Structure 1
Amino acid sequence: MSPTDATADTGTAPTPDVGGQTSPGAAGRPTPLDPGSADIDRDASWSTDSEDTLELRLPDEFLALIASETDHGSSNGHGGRGAGGSDPVVGTRDDLLDRVADWGSVTTPVGVFHLVPVHVERDLPLIGRWMNDPVVARFWGLSGSPSLAERHVRAQLDGDGRSVPCLGVLDGTPMSYWEIYRADLDPLARHYPARPHDTGIHLLIGTAADCGRGLGSALLRAVADLALHKRPTCARVIAEPDIHNTPSVSAFLRAGFRHSGEIDLPDKRAALMIRDRPARLA
């Protein structure tokens, strides 16, 4: 599941899930798709928009993951890893999000922006400092020992590629932390009408000085545009900020997302925000 939210375009520090900071929540980010019921939350309030109907066809990548993990699990007797400890699905890593590292830079109203996948040894001190901001800590739950943030990031880097942690670099300066993930392959998919290749985003703006200047909404729009342009199979970008994080929700709205309803997640009640593929990119 994703982190909760931090503030976006307000003068306070980052808030997880929108414009300033969107986070995976204290429960932590991404875990492999949980087994068990995939029922949609019956208590969630949904938009009547016909565009939000549930797609019943599972993504090809998910079917491949299941097949691969089943084969390795039956032959090795432990969770889908081979005898040498290698990940049997690592071959899909570059395909699940169409190589975020190669998405390139984009010119925005606030400067030239670039997503750079995290390198733990290089970037952890900066990420750890951001996570210890009191406002960020409230939503991400990763304050305290640097090992908490490190485990959170490494879990994604060592996974099968369904989530890619990145630094957001604006005009050459790292100033935000992002998680670009496959929402349809995430536990989140059990709580909303997921479609194949839905792309999810979480955002944390690193310093209070960068909040309250409209950066959150400008960068959210830019990254959503990038995802839709670089991932031709993706028709929607998804976010789930805490409903109480009004600045975050507002930033997503200003970035072209629509409020599609509310959903109950394990760590929060969230606003389901959706950015649809513009007709010109279809």
Structure 2
Amino acid sequence: MQARSAGNVKVIDVSHHQGAIDWAKVKADGVVGAMVKATEGGGSYVDPTFAANAAGAVKAGLPVGYYHYARPELNSAAQEAAHFADKVKGMKADFPHALDVEGKASRLGGAALTAWCVAWLKAVEQLTSHPVMIYTGASFAKSYLGKSLEQWPLWVAHYEVDQPMDNNTWSAWAIFQYSSEEKVDGIKGNVDMNAMEKAFYDKYVHPVVVPAIPKPTGIDTIKVVVNDKLAAYGRMIDGHVYLPLRLLGDALGVDVEWRAAEASPYVGGKIVPYYKLIDGKTYIGVRVAAEMLGGKASWDNGTKKVYLYK
């Protein structure tokens, strides 16, 4: 797990414990986002300040996300997912919806708790059509949360350290809650403080606008699916599939450039070793695409599609 750095941005998480908040003062104090408690358990509990905090943060111009405190020792994942999804319906949400799992949830044991979390995350994704993530303590993650959760971003808590404890499921965090006793203008008493990776922040607050996909020509007929979305069309050359480099870079959020002095394309500052320049466009093979763009690639001969995941 990485240590927090000067490049991280400052985000708070709040609930009724913070009381009434002056969100304009919070923003003026350098906070750039907020995670707001929405619900708990599977019954009727909604945090008393949920609506006020959500509205106040949005009015102040802060990006927001919402979290649910899980009680898996009492309720099913489906019940709690439905409760949360119902309460955040129609609310402006920038960051992924977060599942807060800690405390008595450990009574289920690692395998059962991991399965419960997977079920909640998938259900909320389906019910809200919005990204999700998981919050937990560093020690709790190491003890109870299994590998099937690694596909979702981690928001981890570990106080009084600059680098949270490692675990066997996640290699990196998206948000790091490093203190529960910070002072912020506009809030009386203590508040949780988080470091958020700037790339994660930008992904949801300043998303990259992917250009429209050019219509396929008579040659570019192979569909290229990036993270489950059609991103480009490739072509078959001498029995091998080649893909348009710049469109792949745009879809995956990777910098692609052509350096005229060297007459070569670069990806993330590294020269592309093998490519074909056709009609002013750079094409690369499937294997090179996976290696250079940091993803996994597969070819479906039946559907004539290339799949890339990152």
TM over 0.5, yes or no?
Answer: no
Q: Which has the higher contact order (CA 8 A, sep 6+)?
A: 1
Structure with bigger helix share is 1
**Structure-2-length-normalised TM-score:** 0.30
Max Rg structure: 2
TM-score by length of 1: 0.32
